[in-house]
Amino acid sequence: MAVTETLKRRVPLDDVMEELARAENLSSRDEALARAIAIVTFRRLGTLGHALRERLNKPPKDERLMHLLATGAAQILYLDVPDHAVVDSAVQLAQNDPKLHHAGGFINAVLRRVAREREAILAENDPWLDTPTWLEERWIAQYGEELATRIAEAHRSLASVDLTVKSDPESWAERLGGVLLPTGSIRLKERTAIRELPGFEAGEWWVQDAAAALPARLLNPKPGERIADLCAAPGGKTAQLAAAGAEVLAVDRSAKRLIRLEENLARLNLKAETRAIDAEKLDAAPFDAILLDAPCSATGTIRRHPDAAWTKGEEDIRKLAGLQSRLLDKAAGLLKPGGRLVYCTCSLEAEEGERQAESFLSRHPDFARVPVTPDEIGGFDECITRDGDLRTLPSQLALAEHDRSGLDGFFVARFVHKGS
């Protein structure tokens, strides 16, 4: 089961799903359904566990059985799947497993009870049920209880689909039936097959969360500038830099991910040099500007990747913070005097954001912060910190239609090399 493997190995659900689809030779339709079930299970994992434990005299010791019940309950409560089909499928899965074949009757009884008591379960609406305790404590300490609760609530909603276009966003928003956000991204009003939308085959736009599009915009790339995009895959920011006319070197330690980046650039009719190497080992002539989207805990993308909340821990944040510091130091050494550096992470954690910026400036007195101004981000000033950095939150960018609100959590800091 994808849920069990993801939690056991503490790896991204996307990686597990890719392995599962290949091993089981799943059709695209079956893979999409399996992925949807796993995602909603992780998004509501705390609520599901709470509901199941309240309806079990003694929770099963086998975690796979508990996860099978959770995925079944997730379909009954949150997906448009007939109850009987969910129960039959769960029982069949158990019967095909030598270690769970005896549990068919038990699974049938539990899931049928969940279906009968659906309304009572859904009436319980504590957002913190679906956030691990260690994250709850961190967010309340960092953001205060009211704002932290809004973040937790936002994580229980489906992430929106945003697009970055090469040009003429107003026209493309109209053609695509989307909403033009103040930051310049287009937010789709309805979920649809991306590849079937106008402009996909022609390479006029690409999928990129509105918050993820801000770092490259704040770097302000210019035609002919030599710019490094460190830790570049999957390539949305590389595309932004290339579309601005910059000469881009896209660096990523994963050759496999770089292949996907190159495929995306080919569709978009954009060019960039790629290099599969650990950014810490990069040896290159000084750049005019550098974009460092550093590896992080990804707690800012929990709406989109809810498994991240359950596969990471505080030790991961400490290790990643050390890597981020080293990458920042490396980037500083690769810049020309007067060069610009934008550092960003899709994390809600201060160690990977605000504290990194402070520490970097203390280590590098030859650099200065360049504050973000409201006019650079369409007047979206609520995400500008007192120091002038950018901190977006999943609870921000509220729109009239609640299911189209929010954005990924990002931290962005901008520096300039003061040398001449």
Three-state SS for 222? Answer: coil
Pick the catalytic residue: 231, 296, 344, 346? 346
> How far is Cα 300 from Cα 28, in angstroms, rounded to an integer?
28
Closest alpha carbon to 70 in 94, 103, 100, 37? 37
Helix 2-9, helix 28-43: angle, nearest 10:
60
For every residue of 37-74, DSSP letters joined together read HHHHHHHTHHHHHHHHHHT-SS--S-HHHHHHHHHHHH
Closest alpha carbon to 219 in 199, 189, 241? 241
Distances (CA, A) of 279 to 254, 329, 381: 11, 11, 32
Catalytic site includes residue 383: no
> How far is Cα 404 from Cα 16, in angstroms, rounded to an integer?
28
What strands, in cross-sheet order, belong to the sheet with 162-165? Answer: 178-180, 186-188, 162-165, 205-207
What length is written for the chain? Answer: 420
Amino acid making up residue 107: I
Tokens 């910026």 locate to 357
Which residues are catalytically annotated?
A: 346
